[in-house]
Amino acid sequence: MTFESRLKAQALGLGFDLAGIATLGPAETHGAFADWIAAERQGEMDYLQRGLELRADTTRPEPGMVSALVVTLDYGGKQPDGPVARYARGDDYHRVMWDRLDELLGWVRHERGAHVKGRAYVDTGPILERDLARKAGLGWFGKNTMLIHPERGSFFFIGALFLDIALAPDAPFAQDHCGTCTRCLEACPTQAFVQPGVMDARRCISYLTIESRTPIPAEFHEDIGEHLYGCDICQDVCPWNVKFARPEGDAALAPRAPVAGKDAATLASELVQMTESSYRETFRHSAMKRAKLSGLQRNAEIVLAELGKSSN
């Protein structure tokens, strides 16, 4: 086996579901990303603007890096829908994936020498991860902007281990398998898609309930409905997920007690009564801390108000 084959096998052995290799360099989708920023479709996510130039080329964030092993970790798309998006129900995926990528870096150093430099990225660096994943052969961009794999759908996280050694890259994923399907675009309750493959984050329920720090416009309250944190609608209706989404299988991503099995009314009622200290304890090691207590309580008040309307 080649070193590249063994590296990918090692990644799968650590629990990742897909692995591919890409050579670092210019990001093909940076022009479209810059246009998206120029149109201010990122909303309050100012960090995307600050990292704009770094995202133009994957060799810029960490000078000296040459190749990337890109991996995915499935978080399961078969669990019942609920008030919390599936990806955020378990332990914080950043830490789960960082730990495994760091372990993988240790294996690389054992094989190629302690001098090898590397850095793990999981949704936190100035990198266009989908661009890199497609370059590594892991899928195409769906009309809902998600990376879709033809045998796993889209319910997965993307991570990358950057290395300062040259590796033989995999062939980029070249085909688009969405065809004429527009189910994701039609299903979005807030009509967040400007056109196929272009989302206005300011209208996306995930953005509104997680990233936004300001009051959510009243026009979106009814559509938010029972969504306390995030939204899976555009993934749920995707035929590739209907056919290939898998049950949640990684123990680290199993729903945590604070959210497991709770309906929107129960969870929202608990959230509005939380203190800052109980919030920190309840959501320790959870991705839901991203919204902060103020954001979760803002969302909970909207959900309770909408549930109250529907019961009248």
Catalytic center residues = 123
CA pair distance 204, 231, nearest whole angstrom: 8
CA pair distance 21, 108, nearest whole angstrom: 14
**DSSP element (H, E) containing 156:** strand 156-163
Residues 307 and 226: beta-carbon distance below 8 Å: yes
What separation in angstroms does the CA of 301 have from each of 210, 271, 281, 297? 14, 9, 21, 6
Supply the DSSP symbol for 62: S
Residues 116 and 109: beta-carbon distance below 8 Å: yes
Residues 91 and 291: beta-carbon distance below 8 Å: no
Q: Which residues contact 166 (CB under 8 A, 6 or more apart)?
A: 23, 66, 67
